[in-house]
Amino acid sequence: MKIIVPPIKIQWIKTKLVEFIISYVDFNIDWKWIEPFMWSGVVWFNFAPKNALFCDTNPHTIKLYQWLNEWKIDHFDVKNHLEKEWKILSEKWVEHYNHIRERFNQDWNPLDFIFINRSCFNWMIRFNRKWWFNVPFCKKPDRFAQSYVTKITNQVKNIQSLMKQNNWEFRCQDFRETIKNASKDDLIYCDPPYIWRHVDYFDSWNEQDEFDLHKLLTTFWWKFVMSTWHSNDYRSNEYLNTLWNDCIIKTTEHFYHIWWKEKNRNPVTEAIIMNYKKEHICEKNDKTIKKNILQNKLIHV
């Protein structure tokens, strides 16, 4: 299966988990896909639902996708912007990076967001409480290669082509607002910050958030699928046995590459939680997931 990669590079991205997640999604094409924690959006790009609502409290990722969805910018703008700014960056280095970062923190321009995301230290995405980007510069000359610009502009092109074919909306809002307004013909896919594993200001998550999310997802009639962590080398997610024990849970092994170095591969057992009783489908998936992935088929039951 060819995976569509988003135009922003982001830590904790689920690119390698897309097949695992999608294979358990029981989705009718007439329903609406609701994603309260959009982040990079890699799961829905690859699922490509016809009707969808994507939300997040991160105003920068939402604004970027809103602008692409409304065609305020396209891949030519991204190409021109990167070529122009990277040319100056290759002469002035950190001075120019800091200039663009400052401009971005004032204007919140999505083109500058793509630029700093691709020029900063290890492609980290991190903000302070005011949503100012605060990752420092990293000098890596290979970033200015024309092939790298082409790669990013192609990613933008792919996303916009999906946007053109489908009816998608993007909103910057809290998950409670998003889920409260869902209806019974919606499928909710959640990828919240993983409890006890996130510490950034912009991405904080506490027990009350986890309780609220559980209550909202399980009290009503809609179907949901949620990603979370099951365990790592040191501990387990205790909420799976307590809070979420009324749901179906499936797991898989996964490695997150944090600093893109072999020694920083973090082995994690990932979990997905579902509320609908489709055990036979889950069993079928377990047996056929590999076959279907090899044949480039998704399972829509």
Which residues contribute to the site for ligand SAM (CB under 6 A)? 10, 12-14, 36-37, 39-40, 42-43, 56-58, 174-175, 191-193, 203
Over its C-alpha atoms, the chain yields an Rg (Å, rounded) of 20
**Rounded to the nearest 10 degrees, what angle do helices 146-165 and 59-69 cross at?**
70
Of 6 and 85, the one with the shorter C-beta distance to ligand SAM is: 6
Beginning with the edge strand found earlier in the chain, give each strand of the sheet holding 186-190 in spatial order: 167-172, 51-56, 32-35, 186-190, 223-232, 265-274, 248-257
CB of 94 vs ligand SAM, minimal distance in Å? 27
CB of 206 vs ligand SAM, minimal distance in Å? 10
Helix or strand (DSSP H, E) at 248: strand 248-257
CB of 143 vs ligand SAM, minimal distance in Å? 22
CB proximity list for 143: less than 8 A, separation 6 or greater: 86, 118, 119
Residue 14 near residue 21 (C-beta atoms within 8 A): yes
Of 35 and 85, the one with the shorter C-beta distance to ligand SAM is: 35
Of 44 and 222, the one with the shorter C-beta distance to ligand SAM is: 44
Q: What is the DSSP letter of 182?
A: -
Of 111 and 226, the one with the shorter C-beta distance to ligand SAM is: 226
Of 37 and 224, the one with the shorter C-beta distance to ligand SAM is: 37
CB of 21 vs ligand SAM, minimal distance in Å? 9
Q: How many Cα atoms occupy the beta-carbon half-sphere of 214 within 13 Å?
A: 17
Sign of CA dihedral 98, 99, 102, 108: negative
Of 57 and 218, the one with the shorter C-beta distance to ligand SAM is: 57
CB of 196 vs ligand SAM, minimal distance in Å? 13
Which residue is closest to ligand SAM by CB? Answer: 39
Of 13 and 116, the one with the shorter C-beta distance to ligand SAM is: 13
Residue 62 near residue 113 (C-beta atoms within 8 A): no
| C-alpha pair distances (Å), 222 with each of 6, 31, 34, 97, 181 | 28, 11, 11, 46, 11
CB of 42 vs ligand SAM, minimal distance in Å? 5
Neighbours of 250 (CB within 10 A): 18
CB of 205 vs ligand SAM, minimal distance in Å? 6
